[in-house]
Chains A and B, each alone.
Chain A
């Protein structure tokens, strides 16, 4: 190994150790006999059993999954429209505003978005008498937040995409809508799919926005985890973390496969 290779190896080894050691330890300690996460007291699956008997946690997980499903689908549809408009309509009135508006939720501090969306829902309660805070308001907030991520993936895909296919379809007499449905959409479907997956993950993971708009009745999984974690370390959370890491690894492999599939 020459000097440069050794440097590269050290940088990567240190970086990956930093990224993965904490996660590995969390997984290992989910099988710990003791309640303490600092002492290894032997192998046990009792925290796994405890988590799967924890009704409140399971209910929260189910609510989170349903919200993620709804909001990711809505965000994929709106994000697709936004990304398509940004990539295919170079000039229209208000395009600069449109572009910044689409990207803005990505860089907005979540506490700011949280308070602003809550004020919107409180305002609409005052004026229209609804909607009640809960599933719907959380799903609306998550959708708004995720649109940007789908739009960017779609726009990037459309930017390096062979336009002659679309032009050929138009030359052969297809209307813009038919062209979009039969040519463009199938070709950018992988991008929409991975955008959907990203939106799904973001929704499943969101704490701050959710805490603002959730109201008193609904508790999502991150809200439960947060209130439990605030009180200190809890082996059940280690179990949950292990499950999340496994699911995320599978999702990432799936998403990589979707985006790498060549047209």
Chain B
């Protein structure tokens, strides 16, 4: 369908051989630029440790081996006291709990913003919109002390609550916009039939809001899984490091490691995301595009 649309108004684009050649060269150039660093790192990581330095500038290794991956696990645990399985577990716990918390609260709050009346509604909403533009670092120092006073620094709760405070406006913004797009007749019909506001939300709005919730899940998943500075400062205990924090520790440590081990460590964090992306790529692209349009 998409191609038909292009053919309709692309006449002079199709006629021009210069345009055809330029687009091929430019797009190929960018694809190589994007793929090369990742492929190169992957290629270094699957060589046997002895051949990492020899002939290392060809993408295809001549001696395959997964020894670097074993070294990466061992190096992380012995030298830096962080372990990859533990990092993934920590990230999974933090991400899933933050996303669940943010979405379950946003579902209700966004309903209040879209269908109910309360004082200072639009002012509060404007503060939320403004806070989306604020960089996370602005809150860093006071948050650090608030979490100390609450006695939850260096626990999962510290980072989960910090993420919730920082990301809840995104959930509310997207869901409010979506609730308000649902035709007024539907909710009116519900109230005429005697549905309470709670039933209206649960039975009419939520089933329709599934795509909006999927968008939120994707955006929040990426924001929390990849987040670095809060996770680094609020959870300094090596046993609860998340993936980016542990990886940064490995990658910037003063212990010199073999480039194969280094590359394997980086690839361990990239490959799972690559697999998830390969499966859900349409949702990721659609979700991030929709999320951007909220601004």
- Check if A and B associate: no
A interface residues with partner B (beta carbon < 8 Å): none
